[in-house]
Amino acid sequence: MPTSEQARAWYTDNDPTHDFAHILRVLALARHIAAAEGADIEIVEAAVLLHDAQGSDPGQAQARASHHEGSAEFAGVVLAAEDWPPARIAAVQACIRTHRYRTGEVPESLEAKVLFDADKLDAIGAIGAARALAFAARSGQPFYQEPSERFRATGELEEGEARSAYHEYVFKLGRLRDRLHTRTAREIANRRHKFLSDFFTQLGQEMRGEA
């Protein structure tokens, strides 16, 4: 099993959205969900430590877009070097390949569902707001812009439309609670979802200059 110390070296520390602190938060959530749901903890922990290990550098947009594939391949190399049985390596890789919201691939095993849910819980609540705002600031995008009708209907931007942090909330973050797989994560998500949706509602009011 890779150690936390080993895993730290695979992640950047200069990006508050995808740094090693994200991995440690997901690890804590995943341990809690795995214990409550009866998942294989060794598969879950290895999948968490490795799930963003490739392409987490925000400067590499291309690698970031397929980081689930790159990280699954990397996991195969790391775990084979530790002599993990091929079936257990494949189980970890399946978790990593299906952990993303944007790709729409559905996690099938319980362990894959635990990774997906723990990772998405870290995208909502107060930390979810902080990560989305940090991402926008790093990418030179505004915190808030009213999304076009087209974006709301299709997720595609109009020509010249900025993709603000609020867009990310409309496209993804506000929908995550209803996309979770385990009962344990859904219970945790309720409070986080309310906080995040209140936050973005108030952000919109203040950005429009409402008192």
Q: Which residues bind to ligand ADP, rule: CB under 6 A?
A: 17, 100-102, 123, 128, 131-132, 135-136, 163, 165, 168
Shortest gap between Cβ of 131 and ligand ADP (angstroms)?
A: 4
Shortest gap between Cβ of 141 and ligand ADP (angstroms)?
A: 6
Closer to ligand ADP by Cβ: residue 113 or 131: 131
Shortest gap between Cβ of 88 and ligand ADP (angstroms)?
A: 24
HSE at residue 55, side-chain half, CA atoms within 13 A, is 17
Shortest gap between Cβ of 203 and ligand ADP (angstroms)?
A: 13
Shortest gap between Cβ of 83 and ligand ADP (angstroms)?
A: 30
Print the SS3 string covering the chain. CCCHHHHHCCCCCCCCCCCHHHHHHHHHHHHHHHHHHCCCHHHHHHHHHHCCCCCCCCCCHHHHHCHHHHHHHHHHHHHHHCCCCHHHHHHHHHHHHCCCCCCCCCCCCHHHHHHHHHHHHCCCHHHHHHHHHHHHHHCCCCCCCCCCHHHHHHCCCCCCCCCCHHHHHHHCHHHHHHHCCCHHHHHHHHHHHHHHHHHHHHHHHHHCCCC
CB atoms within 10 A of CB 92: 29
Shortest gap between Cβ of 35 and ligand ADP (angstroms)?
A: 24
With CA atoms as reference, report the closest residue to 144 among 126, 125, 168, 174. 168
